[in-house]
Each structure stands twice: as structure tokens, then as C-alpha cells.
């Protein structure tokens, strides 16, 4: 069960490319990005570990169940809905930027909305499955995409065109104070643990996330990689010219052998899989959270056949994604993404505070079996 | 007794129904010679009754011999006769003597699931023989066999086999629930039962697996699966199944470990190619030639120079040809079969390309698709894959490369979504998981 948790960490750690995180960071590369990344390593690790350790107090419970257990419905339901909404917005943003990327790089002549319809349908179908299905699918998809990730990483690092001096120059600017936007963007590398808010339902009662030390390691790897490799390819100045920064960076690499020449297409395949996965997970989480707004709702991680309400909710999400696609353009989308990143960051802090304090409260109760466990670091 | 039976059966010409008289006493006797083993009838009834007759011994035999079963109920008589029993009425009591004629006396050779160095014996079309073959290979006291009859007309006998220590009780329960809902007139093949059980109408992938190999069934039983043997079919149906079961051939377990893994890997690659290659061809030829290396894009386009219509028409022509060829070579009698293959090969080979109907690359694609489809060890699964490739083709027609990627994603999610008798269809289980599952279950 442990590995399922890490699949979420892995793909969320990589999906940031579709949410303009590299672009946001690069824009402030001379004033605070590096410090922001360093700070976010600390903040992200702290947030994730405290939340994970606190979640141990609530075996087999997702965030909605925890909230409903400790708060009255009129407090809990809006909070759950808010969390669901935050997932939903993430899904909508990723679907939009996936459509834009694919439209721009693969099928420029194709009708944008036709394209969006396909993506929305895929996310709808996948998101409306049961929680267990989503988890199984995550595993298979992550395992399928890992070789592609390894290939791209290898190609990037071993590339002779990569200018290490440029990277060193930018890395030297670590003394500037970062803005909140940068920190919010950079903490997104660590956000994979948030999936526990829903998928903790599936974990066995004595579940414990093991190998917690890998969390900061993975996050650091992803953040440094996403931030510095484009700088190495495009130079310290030219790098800010691109919105779809990583697509262009991937296009700077060539494979000498094989059917496919441009690494860029591998990158596109990888990111369409990752985005669809992200959309699946976020649609699913949002759906489950909205369903759990009612305090009487009982979570069912395994439901076959798929109930109608799943389809209805996901269809609504799809409609939202579609409407957003009609309203947004690249510029608006970017602004919304930045706002969302900051909101998500603050929500993560709130979640951490709520879950941790509830865990402490639960630990203080005399009937708690093992008080030693409550004394987790950071509380 | 005889009159009643004759009345019910309408006195068919192949029924022997006589009153026998050996000089001391009389016995009513009837059976279908075509359905009974004459030798057994002779040894078991005729000889003791005629020239070796001894009234006391004969009575004792009727009472003690397990072959003779009391049949007091006149309603049962016709059914017993039709199954191949001989009925006798001696001193006002009716006995049935099971002398069912068996077609098979020994296991057959494997035909569908051939193996190079594994066991060569396959199951037969006789239920008892099959049960014997499996008991022989899976010789444990916990092997449980339940008997059942299905089919309103055919009254086909079924044996449900499972290891009661290892079987998943939820699956067993679900199987029994589903068996109760199975209503059919004629049940003639294991595949038919598998289809009726597996909700096949709503699933694009098989929900049960068929096998003719006793060693395979034994392995399934050992893994806690349930097997159903159907009388008159040389295949056993096993459930619950997982995606990986369909890609597994018995030879993988009999060859050195790494050789087996490599072959399995090739099989998965073959499956992927057979599903996606036509769609990829359409995507590259019509939407995204830049996806592949420039030289390759040129040669694909160059080979299509003489073809007057879009790539998907070409794909449909060739796929239809190959499907027709495969179908023809399965159904045709063996004497004509080779002709079909030759003629088809000629068309699929040079001629179609020289006539400018299809490109030469498309011919390669077609043959790769066909050959890699044959690599899949299970035929019902390979049917599924054959059908799946059209989904990819349609997606590629409308969306090009993106369509292929999204379809792949959807199929993976769909496979993960499927459940076979309550068990996940596509999911990795590591040994540690199963242990922890058991722990949490206990």
C-alpha cells in the first residue's frame, strides 16, 4: 500500500510543468527563485511530514470523514467542498493547458474544442471510476511513464549543449528574498502527499507511510531539475521568453538513434499521460469530496458498477472545464494558475493545521491506545 | 415398467426393451445400446442373469454392487435411460445400472495450447476423464468438487473444482450467485458457460479463462482460482482471472527463469504492436509525420505516393483482408486451408502494393499486426485485442497521435476498472501486499 502513496508523489512532482510552475520560477530567477526553492524544500517537507504523521491517527479515513467526525455539518461541509473545489480547479487548469500544448505542438490545425472534448471525456471516464480503480490505474500509468522520465532526464543531463555556467550563475542568486508566489509555486513539487486526504480511505488500519525521507529527496530532485535544466539549455536571459518552457527545452534534445528523433515527442507523450492521470485523480478527488459534503455519505472505495452520481458529477466537472476553455486564453490561464497555486498553498497549510490539531486532540483523549505516537515531530 | 417407458419415449427404434426369461425367473430389461457400454452390460447383467444364474447370488449382487442403484421413482427412469443407464426390473424392484459409454479412454494431445517441453496431454470431452486428470495433477485432500447440472435441454453435467483452503470465498459466492442466474437450453461448450457467467455482453475483455491443459488448471487451483469442467467440452473455465493470466503460457514456467521473462516481455510488446500499429500508421501518415525520424517519414510518405486515398481507407482494406484470411484459415477444412493462405499471401504480398492499392509499409504493418496477434497465448484474449485495435484506429482517424495516447490511457483505466468475480482485473500484487491483506482480513 505504501507504493501507491509514492505514485501520487511522483506524478504530482512532475505535473508542475503543465501548471507553468517552471515559468513562474524562471521569471524571478534573479530575485528569489533559488531561495524560494530552498525555502520550499523546508516548507514542503514540513507540511507533508506533519500531515502524514497526523493522518496516522485517522486510519481508513479521508479528510471528509475526519472533518465530519469533529465538526458540525455546517462547518465541515463547506470545508470539504472547498477542498473539492481546489482539486477541481487544478484539473480544469491542467486540462486546459494540455489542450493548448497539444494544439500548439501536435495538431495545430485541429479545432480546439474538439480536442478539449476528447480530453474532458477521458478525464470524465477515468475520474468517475471507483477509488480503488483510480489507484490501480495510477500504478500502471506511473510504471509505464517512468522509463520515459528516465530517458528525458538522461538526455537532458548528458547533453553537451547544456550550459552549466548559466546554471551556476542563476544558482548564485540564492540570497534574494523570494515572493509568496514563488514559494507557493515551488511547494507544489511536494504536493503529492495531499492525495492521502482521499486515498487514506483505502489504506489498511495499521498503515504507515514508510521511507518518509524520500519525500524531500524526490521534491528537491524534481524542483532542481525543472528549474535548472531549461536555464542550462536556453541561457540565463533567453529562458524567460517561453511560456511552454519545458516543451521548448525538450525540443532542444535530439535522439541519434531510434524511430523518434526529437525528445520533444517523448516529452509530449509523457506529459499527456501525466496530465490525464492528474486530471483523473483530481476529478476523482473532487467528485468524492463533493459527494462527501453530506454528513450521511458513506465512503465506498470499491463500487462496481459505477453509480450514476459519479457520472453526473464528473459530467458537471467536464462542463466546467469546457466553459473555462471557452473563456480562457493563455494569458488569463496563467493568471488563474498563479492564483490557484497560492490558494492551494494556503489550503495546504490550513489542512495541515486542522489535521494536526485534530490528531493532537485525538491523542490526548485517554482512550487513545498509544500516546507515544501522537508526539510526532512538528506538533 | 417397460410399457411405461415405451409410452414416454414413444418406442424409439434404438431402444432395447425386453422381458428376459432364463428358465427360472423373469426380468424386465431395457437400455439404449448406442449409449451404453455393451461389454459392461454383458458382464454386469447378461452373464449373471443367463448362464451363470444363481438366484441368491444375483440378489446379493443387486443389493451389494455399487453399480446397481435403486430406482423406485418412475419419473426418473427416462432420464436415466437417456444418460446411458440400463434399467432392470427384478422381483418387482427397479434397478439402474450405470454403463455409460465413454468415448475417451485416454487423454488427448494438446491442440490449442501447445507446449514445447511441458506436459503434452490435454483434457478430453469427457467430464470424468477430465476430473481424473486434474485430481491426478492436483492431488490434495482439500480439492473440493461440487456437482451441478445446467441447460434445460442438454442437462450438461458440471464440476466445480476449487481448493477450499486457498479459494477466495467472495469469488466463490459470486460465482454461485451467477450460476443461479444462468439459464440456457443447450450448454455445449465451456466458452459458452464462460460467456454466460462473465457478463460478456458488457465487457470488452474476457472475464473467465479457458484452458485445455490439466497442468494449467492445476496451477490455477493452486493459486486459489475456481475451475469449472463442462461435460462434452475439452476446456475448463477458470475464474477469477487477471490480465496477466491471459499473457502467460505454461512454457514460461518450464523454461529457465530469464528466458521465460524475455519471452513474456516479447509477448507484451507483440500485444501492444498488434493493438496500436495500424493506428500509429494512420497518425504518422495523416497527422503527425514529424513525430518520427525525418527519413522514416519520407519513406512512409514515399511508399504512399501511388495510393490514391487517405491512409485510413488503406488501413481498413488491409485489416479486412487479414481478418478475413485468419477467419478463413480457422474455419476452412484443412485441405482447402492452405490454398486460402497461399492466395491471401499473394494478394497481401506484392500484388496489392504493385497495383497501387496500398503502400508497401502498410503491408509490413499488416503482417506485424497479424503475427504479433498470434503471439498472445489465449485465443479469447487475442480476439479482444483484435477488436481493440479498431478502437485505436477510429481514435487515430479523428485525433491522430493524441487519439492513440488518450485511447491507451482509457483502455488502461478501463482494464483497471474491470473486476472478475470481485477481483481486480489489472493490478499488480506484490507478495508483501497479499500478506498484509491477509493480516488485515484476519
B292/A261 CB distance under 8 A: yes
Average pLDDT of chain A is 86
Strands B226-230 vs B156-163: parallel, antiparallel or unpaired = antiparallel
Nearest to A137 among B291, B412, B433 (CB): B412
Question: Which of A282-286, B187-191, B427-431 has the highest average model confidence (pLDDT)?
Answer: A282-286
- The three-class DSSP label of residue B70 is strand
Please check whether residue B97 is in contact with residue B27, taking contact to mean a CB–CB distance below 8 angstroms: no
**Mutate which: A100, A118, A201, A310, vs B, most B CBs within 10 A:** A118
Q: How far apart are CA B101 and CA B116, in angstroms?
A: 33
Q: Which residues contact B96 (CB under 8 A, 6 or more apart)?
A: B68, B69, B71, B77, B80, B85, B86, B87
With cell 507544489, the residue in question is: A188
pLDDT at B200: 58
What residue of A is the nearest CA neighbor of B401? A106
- List the 75-114 stretch of A: residues with Cβ below 8 A of B: 102, 106-107, 110, 114
Q: Taking residues B4-27, report their average pLDDT.
A: 83
A106/B419 CB distance under 8 A: no
User: What percentage of chain B has pLDDT greater than the value 70?
Assistant: 96
Average pLDDT of chain B is 85
Work out the minimum CA distance from B271 to partner chain A, whole angstroms: 15
Range list of H helices, chain A: 2-15, 21-27, 33-55, 63-70, 73-105, 112-127, 131-157, 164-171, 180-187, 196-199, 214-234, 245-250, 263-291, 308-327, 330-364, 371-374
Nearest to B424 among A107, A136, A205 (CB): A136
Work out the minimum CA distance from B295 to partner chain A, whole angstroms: 9
Q: Does A139 touch chain B (CB under 8 A)?
A: yes
Phi, psi at residue B150, to the nearest 5°? -135, 155
Work out the minimum CA distance from A336 to partner chain B, whole angstroms: 26
pLDDT at A4: 87
DSSP-derived secondary structure for A153-178: HHHHHT-TT--HHHHHHHHT-TTSPP
pLDDT exceeds 50 at position A313: yes
Nearest to A259 among B293, B401, B426 (CB): B293
pLDDT exceeds 50 at position A372: no
Nearest to A118 among B293, B406, B436 (CB): B406
ipTM value of the model?
A: 0.91
Q: Does A316 touch chain B (CB under 8 A)?
A: no
Q: How far apart are CA A182 and CA A56, in angstroms?
A: 31
What residue of B is the nearest CA neighbor of A130? B417
**Mutate which: B298, B396, B414, B417, vs A, most A CBs within 10 A:** B417
pLDDT at B430: 56
Q: Which residues contact A220 (CB under 8 A, 6 or more apart)?
A: A41
Angle at A62 between CA A145 and CA A283, to 5 degrees: 45
Please check whether residue A280 is in contact with residue A126, taking contact to mean a CB–CB distance below 8 angstroms: yes
Q: Taking residues B97-112, report their average pLDDT.
A: 81
Nearest to B293 among A129, A143, A260 (CB): A260
Phi, psi at residue B144, to the nearest 5°? -105, 140
Work out the minimum CA distance from B244 to partner chain A, whole angstroms: 13
In this predicted model, what pLDDT tens digit does every residue of B377-429 receive, in sequence order? Answer: 888 899 999 999 999 999 999 998 999 999 999 999 999 988 888 888 888 87
Please check whether residue B321 is in contact with residue B366, taking contact to mean a CB–CB distance below 8 angstroms: yes
Q: How far apart are CA A203 and CA A185, in angstroms?
A: 29
- The three-class DSSP label of residue B115 is coil
Selecting from 3.40.50.300, 3.30.1360.40, 3.30.70.260, 1.20.1740.10, what CATH number does the domain A2-374 have? 1.20.1740.10
Q: A220 is written with which cell numbers?
A: 528537491
Nearest to A272 among B288, B400, B405 (CB): B405
pLDDT exceeds 70 at position B46: yes
Please check whether residue B27 is in contact with residue B82, taking contact to mean a CB–CB distance below 8 angstroms: no
**Mutate which: A261, A278, A300, vs B, most B CBs within 10 A:** A261
pLDDT at A138: 92
Work out the minimum CA distance from B436 to partner chain A, whole angstroms: 8
Q: B315-319 — which CB contacts under 8 Å span 24+ positions?
A: B315/B278, B315/B281, B315/B282, B315/B362, B315/B365, B315/B393, B316/B393, B317/B357, B317/B358, B318/B348, B318/B352, B318/B358, B318/B362, B318/B363, B318/B365, B318/B366, B319/B278, B319/B366, B319/B369, B319/B389, B319/B390, B319/B393
pLDDT exceeds 60 at position A378: no
Q: Taking residues B225-244, report their average pLDDT.
A: 90
In this predicted model, what pLDDT tens digit does every residue of A250-263 receive, in sequence order? Answer: 888 888 888 888 88
Q: What is the residue extent of each domain of chain A?
A: 2-374
In this predicted model, what pLDDT tens digit does every residue of A82-123 receive, in sequence order? Answer: 989 999 999 999 999 999 888 888 888 888 888 899 999 999
What residue of A is the nearest CA neighbor of B424? A133
- List the 254-273 stretch of A: residues with Cβ below 8 A of B: 258-262, 265, 269, 272-273
Q: Taking residues B28-45, report their average pLDDT.
A: 85
Nearest to B417 among A129, A258, A259 (CB): A129
B436/A204 CB distance under 8 A: yes
Q: Does A118 touch chain B (CB under 8 A)?
A: yes
Chain B positions touching A110 (Cβ under 8 A) are 399-400
In this predicted model, what pLDDT tens digit does every residue of A172-230 receive, in sequence order? Answer: 888 888 888 889 989 988 888 888 888 888 888 777 888 888 888 999 999 988 899 99
Q: How far apart are CA A250 and CA A22, in angstroms?
A: 13
Q: How far apart are CA A20 and CA A26, in angstroms?
A: 10
Work out the minimum CA distance from B433 to partner chain A, whole angstroms: 7
Binning pLDDT at 50, 70 and 90, where does residue B99 land? confident
Chain A positions touching B440 (Cβ under 8 A) are 204-206
In this predicted model, what pLDDT tens digit does every residue of B339-362 receive, in sequence order? Answer: 777 777 777 777 888 888 888 899
What residue of B is the nearest CA neighbor of A125? B410
Please check whether residue B376 is in contact with residue B246, taking contact to mean a CB–CB distance below 8 angstroms: yes
Please check whether residue B218 is in contact with residue B224, taking contact to mean a CB–CB distance below 8 angstroms: no
Q: Taking residues B214-234, report their average pLDDT.
A: 90
Chain A positions touching B417 (Cβ under 8 A) are 129-130, 133, 137, 304, 306
Partners of residue B420 on adjacent β-strands: B423
Chain B positions touching A130 (Cβ under 8 A) are 417
User: What percentage of chain A has pLDDT greater than the value 90?
Assistant: 27
Work out the minimum CA distance from A357 to partner chain B, whole angstroms: 28
Amino acid at each position: 500500500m505504501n507504493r501507491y502513496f509514492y505514485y501520487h508523489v511522483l506524478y504530482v512532482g512532475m505535473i508542475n510543468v503543465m501548471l507553468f510552475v517552471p515559468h513562474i520560477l524562471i521569471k524571478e530567477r534573479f530575485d528569489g527563485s533559488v531561495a524560494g526553492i530552498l525555502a520550499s524544500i523546508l516548507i514542503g517537507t514540513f507540511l507533508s511530514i506533519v500531515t502524514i504523521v497526523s493522518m496516522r491517527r485517522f486510519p481508513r479515513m479521508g479528510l471528509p470523514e475526519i472533518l465530519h467526525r469533529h465538526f458540525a455539518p455546517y462547518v465541515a461541509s463547506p470545508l470539504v467542498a472547498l477542498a473539492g473545489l481546489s482539486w477541481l480547479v487544478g484539473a480544469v487548469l491542467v486540462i486546459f493547458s494540455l489542450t493548448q500544448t497539444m494544439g500548439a505542438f501536435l495538431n495545430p490545425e485541429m479545432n480546439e474544442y474538439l480536442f478539449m472534448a476528447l480530453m474532458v471525456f477521458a478525464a470524465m471516464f477515468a475520474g468517475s471510476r471507483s477509488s480503488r480503480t483510480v489507484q490501480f490505474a495510477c500504478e500502471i500509468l506511473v510504471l509505464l511513464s517512468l522509463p520515459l522520465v528516465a530517458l528525458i532526464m538522461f538526455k537532458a543531463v548528458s547533453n553537451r549543449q547544456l550550459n552549466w555556467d548559466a546554471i551556476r550563475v542563476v544558482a548564485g542568486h540564492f540570497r534574494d528574498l523570494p515572493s509568496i508566489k514563488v514559494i507557493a509555486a515551488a511547494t507544489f513539487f511536494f504536493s503529492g502527499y495531499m492525495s492521502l486526504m482521499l486515498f487514506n480511505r483505502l489504506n489498511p488500519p495499521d498503515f504507515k507511510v514508510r521511507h518518509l525521507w524520500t519525500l524531500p529527496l524526490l521534491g528537491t530532485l524534481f524542483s532542481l531539475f525543472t528549474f535548472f535544466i531549461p536555464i542550462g539549455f536556453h541561457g540565463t536571459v533567453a529562458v524567460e521568453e517561453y511560456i511552454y518552457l519545458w516543451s521548448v527545452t525538450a525540443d532542444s534534445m535530439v535522439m541519434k538513434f531510434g524511430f523518434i528523433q526529437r525528445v520533444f515527442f517523448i516529452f509530449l507523450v509523457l506529459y499527456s499521460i501525466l496530465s490525464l492521470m492528474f486530471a483523473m485523480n483530481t476529478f476523482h478527488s473532487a467528485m468524492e469530496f463533493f459527494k462527501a459534503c453530506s454528513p450521511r455519505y458513506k465512503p465506498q472505495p470499491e463500487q462496481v458498477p459505477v453509480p450514476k452520481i459519479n457520472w453526473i458529477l464528473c459530467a458537471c466537472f467536464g462542463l466546467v472545464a469546457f466553459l473555462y476553455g471557452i473563456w480562457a486564453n493563455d494569458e488569463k490561464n496563467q493568471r488563474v494558475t498563479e492564483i490557484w497555486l497560492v490558494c492551494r498553498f494556503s489550503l495546504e497549510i490550513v489542512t495541515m493545521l486542522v489535521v494536526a490539531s485534530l490528531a493532537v486532540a485525538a491523542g490526548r483523549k485517554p482512550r487513545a491506545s498509544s500516546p507515544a505516537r501522537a508526539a510526532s515531530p512538528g506538533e | 415398467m417397460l410399457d411405461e417407458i415405451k409410452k414416454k419415449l414413444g418406442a424409439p427404434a434404438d431402444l432395447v426393451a425386453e422381458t428376459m426369461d432364463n428358465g427360472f425367473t423373469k426380468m424386465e430389461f431395457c437400455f439404449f445400446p448406442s449409449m451404453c457400454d455393451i461389454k459392461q452390460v454383458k458382464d454386469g447383467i447378461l452373464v449373471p442373469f443367463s448362464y451363470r444364474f444363481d438366484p441368491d447370488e444375483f440378489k446379493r449382487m443387486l443389493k451389494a454392487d455399487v453399480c446397481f442403484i435403486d430406482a423406485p421413482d418412475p419419473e426418473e427412469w427416462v432420464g436415466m435411460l437417456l444418460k446411458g443407464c440400463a434399467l432392470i426390473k427384478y422381483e418387482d424392484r427397479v434397478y439402474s445400472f450405470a454403463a455409460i459409454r465413454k468415448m475417451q479412454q485416454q487423454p488427448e494431445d494438446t491442440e490449442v495450447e501447445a507446449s514445447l517441453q511441458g506436459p503434452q496431454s490435454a483434457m478430453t470431452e469427457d467430464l470424468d476423464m477430465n476430473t481424473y486428470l486434474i485430481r491426478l495433477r492436483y492431488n490434495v485432500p482439500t480439492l473440493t468438487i461440487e456437482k451441478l447440472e445446467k441447460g434445460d435441454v442438454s442437462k450438461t453435467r458440471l464440476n466445480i473444482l476449487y481448493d477450499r483452503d486457498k479459494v477466495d470465498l467472495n469469488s466463490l459466492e459470486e460465482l454461485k450467485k451467477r450460476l443461479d442466474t444462468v439459464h440456457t437450453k443447450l450448454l455445449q461448450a465451456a466458452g459458452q458457460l464462460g460467456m454466460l457467467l462473465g457478463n460478456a455482453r458488457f465487457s470488452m475483455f474476457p472475464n473467465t479463462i479457458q484452458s485445455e491443459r490439466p497442468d494449467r488448471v492445476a496451477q490455477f487451483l493452486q493459486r486459489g482460482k475456481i475451475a469449472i469442467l463442462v461435460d462434452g467440452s475439452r476446456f475448463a473455465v477458470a475464474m477469477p482471472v487477471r490480465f496477466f493470466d491471459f499473457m502467460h503460457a505454461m512454457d514460461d514456467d518450464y523454461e529457465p527463469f530469464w528466458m521465460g521473462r524475455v519471452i513474456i516481455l516479447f509477448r507484451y510488446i507483440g500485444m501492444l504492436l498488434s493493438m496500436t500499429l495500424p493506428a500509429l500508421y494512420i497518425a504518422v501518415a495523416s497527422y503527425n509525420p514529424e513525430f518520427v525520424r525525418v527519413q522514416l517519414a519520407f519513406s512512409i510518405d514515399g511508399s504512399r505516393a501511388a495510393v490514391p486515398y487517405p491512409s485510413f481507407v488503406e488501413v481498413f482494406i488491409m485489416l479486412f483482408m487479414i481478418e478475413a484470411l485468419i477467419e478463413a484459415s480457422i474455419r476452412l477444412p484443412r485441405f482447402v486451408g492452405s490454398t486460402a493462405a497461399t492466395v491471401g499471401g499473394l494478394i497481401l504480398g506484392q500484388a496489392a502494393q504493385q497495383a497501387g492499392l496500398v503502400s508497401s509499409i502498410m503491408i509490413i504493418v499488416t503482417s506485424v499486426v497479424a503475427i504479433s496477434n498470434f503471439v498472445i497465448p489465449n485465443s479469447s484474449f487475442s480476439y479482444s485485442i483484435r477488436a481493440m485495435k479498431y478502437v485505436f484506429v477510429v481514435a487515430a482517424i479523428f485525433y491522430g497521435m493524441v487519439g492513440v495516447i488518450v485511447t491507451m490511457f482509457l483502455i488502461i483505466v478501463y482494464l483497471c476498472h474491470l473486476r472478475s468475480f470481485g477481483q481486480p482485473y489489472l493490478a499488480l500484487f506484490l507478495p508483501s501486499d497479499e500478506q498484509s491483506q491477509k493480516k488485515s482480513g484476519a
